[in-house]
Amino acid sequence: MLISFFIFNSCKTQEGIGLDVDPATQINGTLIQDTSIVTTTVPEDEVVTNNSLSRAPLSYFKDPVFGVTEANIAAVLKLPGGLAYTVPTGTVTIDSVRLVLPYAVGNGFYGDSLLSTYKIDVHQLDERIVTTQEYKNSYHFSSKAELLGTKTFTARSHDSVTINNIRAGKPDTLVKAVPQIRIPISNSFINTNLFTASSSTLSSSTIFENTVKGLYLTLDKAQTPGVGGNLFFRLDSAAVRVYYKRVDGSTIDTAVVSLPFGVNVNEIKHTYTDKVQAALNGTSTDGLVYVQGLAGLRAKLTFPNIKDIFSSINNKAIINRAEIIVKVMPGTATPFAPNQRLTLYKYDLSGQRVTLQDATSTDPRSSSTFGGSYNSTTGEYHFIVTAFLQDLISGKTSDYGTYLAPVDPTATTIEVTPTATYAERAILSGKNSPYRVKLNIIYTKLTQ
């Protein structure tokens, strides 16, 4: 069959078609642009936050559009090496104690790093983290009122720091370390729970963990002026580092011992502005749609006219290519950058999240370029949905719910679970905007 190429546009413009391809690989057929997709804001599901080791969030972000995001960290404190600990012989005197929190690699901050300052408060947990239990992001851990440590700082997630490296039996040296925050911790807390603790408490890390319970980290709202932001830390590298002097007879030495973090849990809470809440309630008049990381918001897509899209040709068509184009509302990409990646997924009959046919590797029609990455030049996200759309139109599958949501932008696979490790957000346009979500379809009409 000889297929010629011409364009039929169901809108009044041809802007944002997004199907430009290299002439050598161009897909021929007739192009329809459907703009009837309905996009609405819905809350994200809760997510289990146990052990977000590489990107644990600590947040107090007063986003002027979205509202307030808060995230706290509860973490088990382990004995050195996770093993039984023997107190050094002689007289031990603590010089200083620092809680070391390395920033997450790559991008350990999202928010205002210029005008806002931050104050971390550290408390002792008042309840034990059950290591075999799953904790959702809404769970709140109780903590003791006593302040173990605090630090006021500005967010410098890309700036290395210089620290004094303690070397046993050798002169101390200055070394450059990865970007991190170093919080002074109470000497008496370490004396009580480590150097003067009972031998039974120190006989195993499990007993120590159950006795001490762990640490609770939060940002002091009253002492965090400005818009604030979201900090992300590598808790697999976090530790309480104890610098001490040991005198044993004529031997005098300085040393350091580290108490690493164990299991950690992140509490995440969102309090939305009236505009965002109106979008959630379905009472918004501006038609804007909001997506947000840290288990915040996602968008639901519905396709009201999908069954009739080829009715004029008696549904005698083969879809060569279908693509959904999602555009960030112009003027909203600053000062806070949009999500660098979104995902598109659906619910199955049982209400479980599954990938679209085009993103399912076991489907022979799947695409290696499913899409979802943010194009900062066009302000758009593109998704290939050819197989998904063909099955919807043919009735092979039903739409039990299709969703657009933030995911980890560094993931190498197609993600469908909510992200609790990235805070970026984006503002999208609703149905009455020229920038609304579009569906472009290239099809071939069947002659018989």
Helix (H) or strand (E) holding 181: strand 180-184
Q: Which of residues 165 and 94 earns the better pLDDT score?
A: 94
Report whether 419 contacts 408 (CB < 8 A). yes
Q: What is the pLDDT of residue 222?
A: 92
| pLDDT (0 to 100) of residue 92 | 95
Distance from C-alpha of 49 to C-alpha of 58, rounded to nearest angstrom: 13
| Residue pair 210/225 in contact by the 8 Å Cβ criterion | no
* Tens-place pLDDT, residues 22-32: 444 456 788 99
Average the pLDDT over 96-115 and give the result: 95
Q: What is the pLDDT of residue 250?
A: 85
Span 6-34+286-445 CATH architecture: Sandwich (2.60)
Domain with CATH 2.60.120 in the chain: 6-34+286-445
Q: 94-105, pLDDT tens digit by residue?
A: 999 999 999 999
What pLDDT was estimated at residue 169? 60
Q: Which pLDDT value is given to residue 446?
A: 83
* Mean pLDDT score, 398-419: 94
pLDDT for 160: 87
Question: Where are the extended beta strands (E) located within 189-315?
Answer: 215-219, 228-233, 239-248, 251-272, 289-292, 297-302
Helices (DSSP H) in 269-415: which residue ranges?
274-281, 386-394
- Cis peptide preceding 364, ω within 30 of 0: no
Q: What is the pLDDT of residue 252?
A: 86
How many angstroms separate the CA atoms of 132 and 446, rounded?
58
**pLDDT at residue 217 in the model:** 98
pLDDT, greater one: 253 or 384: 384
Tell whether the torsion through CA atoms of 328, 329, 334 and 335 is positive or negative: negative
**What's the confidence (pLDDT) of residue 344?**
98
Return the amino acid letter for 432.
N
Q: Is the pLDDT of residue 53 over 90?
A: no
Mean model confidence pLDDT for the chain: 90
pTM flag (> 0.85): yes
Q: Which of 194-198, 206-210, 307-311, 354-358 has the lowest average pLDDT?
A: 307-311
- In the beta sheet, which residues pair with residue 264? 75
Q: Who contacts 345 (Cβ-Cβ below 8 Å, separation ≥6)?
A: 353, 354, 355, 356, 359, 402, 403, 405, 414, 416
Give the integer Cα–Cα distance in Å for 374 and 341: 6
229: nearest Cα among 421, 102, 75, 57? 57
pLDDT over 70 at 168, yes or no: no
Q: Are 432 and 284 in contact (CB under 8 A)?
A: no
The token duo for 396 is 């092979």
Residues 6+ apart with CB under 8 A from 442: 19, 27, 28, 29, 30, 31, 319, 320, 321, 322
Residue 271 reports pLDDT greater than 70: yes
Helix, strand and coil percent figures for the chain, each rounded to 5: 10, 40, 45
